[in-house]
Structure 1
């Protein structure tokens, strides 16, 4: 259990930091949390490569628990427009994290014997796409308004050009696309630290 501690602590730090930084805008479409959360996939993939899928799933569960705690705390803090974390945001965040990270673990494990970059890149691309789709749809789609009738998400469904220059879509679609683009970019960037860590450490699981 002790050898899993670095991964658990790293995942917890990323989840906590992301829950704090998501409160601060970066430009028109993003928050600062968009730049920290994707590194959760790096932690999961490093754990998977060095210690195997079972350890990686344990790290994911630890991150999920920390995320729930953060959501509970956020739901009790009242901001200008109500609780900092609504039920739909909490539900979307938890569901997206768990589904995306566990999918990442499975895809990585299936590809672990291929070229060194393939497992982390493909698993993160799939996991990140799933994460974005689940979170933004659950948190902001009008079709799921029944999840929390008292939560007004009309602002997120205002029809605007996609990322300011595309077809007219609900605002949350632009937010999701921007978030997804950051995740994909960081998935590529994260290959460098992934290679560095795995190069210097002999994996216990091939």
Structure 2
């Protein structure tokens, strides 16, 4: 393995592990602390893509995916107040969402890399984040997919409540998804600052 990719690999692994831990702790009514660390995975992928190219970015994504699987396997063995910390639906949803969204991010970034410096990271992260949120929350909590894990009762997620406490009535999991999506979009914009700084520094080194 090329050692120049090691910082990106370690950063992705760190983000995945931290997010799997912090998702257990609530932040307000609609979010967990993991919602603020997980979007950094897109930042890591985009930096690798800009500096080292598509192949390097995909390699980091696949390693992050494997780390995520490891975290899920560990989580299934830890029993909390309401059962295992990670259920089958959460593990499947997390894995599919991560791999699909990150590879989509890589592909979109590559198509846009010749545009203005901010276009590729913003658009790839926004689209990837949107797909990630839609896939994860639908697979993990939608009542229509209860067949994935019939013994796992997620009826609580289907409770009909005002969207984010203010909008039209919708299942609770939709409010959770919208809140999560909003954080991802905000971080995608804020991440432009470290993206610009880090890529400039690394590209100067590899030039």
TM-score, normalized by length of structure 1?
0.98
Number of residue-to-residue matches in the alignment? 206
Report the RMSD for the aligned CA atoms in angstroms. Answer: 1.3
Contact kept? 1:49, 1:205, Cα under 8 Å: no
Report the Cα offset of residue 4 of structure 1. 1.1
Aligned pairs for 1:64-75 (under 5 A) are 64-75=65-76
Does residue 170 of structure 2 align to residue 179 of structure 1? no
Q: Which residue of 2 aligns with 1:156?
A: 157
Q: Which residue of 2 aligns with 1:20?
A: 21
Q: Which residue of 1 aligns with 2:41?
A: 40
Deviations 1:40-81 (A, max 9, x none): 000000000000000000000000000000000000000011
SS in 2 for 1:68: helix
For residues 103 and 204 of structure 2, the distance between their equivalents in structure 1, rounded to whole angstroms, comes to: 20
Report the Cα offset of residue 202 of structure 1. 1.8
SS in 2 for 1:201: helix
Report the Cα offset of residue 205 of structure 1. 9.5
Contact kept? 1:44, 1:101, Cα under 8 Å: yes
Q: Which residue of 2 aligns with 1:120?
A: 121
For residues 89 and 200 of structure 1, the distance between their equivalents in structure 2, rounded to whole angstroms, comes to: 38
For residues 113 and 202 of structure 2, the distance between their equivalents in structure 1, rounded to whole angstroms, comes to: 16
Report the Cα offset of residue 200 of structure 1. 2.0
Report the Cα offset of residue 204 of structure 1. 9.1
Report the Cα offset of residue 201 of structure 1. 2.6
Aligned pairs for 1:32-181 (under 5 A) are 32-181=33-182
Q: 195-204 or 41-50, which moves further after superposition? A: 195-204
**1:201 to 1:109, Cα distance in 2 relative to 1, 3 A:** same
For residues 205 and 20 of structure 1, the distance between their equivalents in structure 2, rounded to whole angstroms, comes to: 34
Contact kept? 1:50, 1:204, Cα under 8 Å: no
Contact kept? 1:46, 1:198, Cα under 8 Å: yes
Q: Which residue of 1 aligns with 2:6?
A: 5
Contact kept? 1:50, 1:201, Cα under 8 Å: yes
For residues 162 and 152 of structure 2, the distance between their equivalents in structure 1, rounded to whole angstroms, comes to: 24
Contact kept? 1:52, 1:205, Cα under 8 Å: no
Deviations 1:2-31 (A, max 9, x none): 111111100000000000000000000000
For residues 132 and 174 of structure 1, the distance between their equivalents in structure 2, rounded to whole angstroms, comes to: 11
Structure 1 residue runs without a partner (length 5+)? none
TM-score, normalized by length of structure 2?
0.97
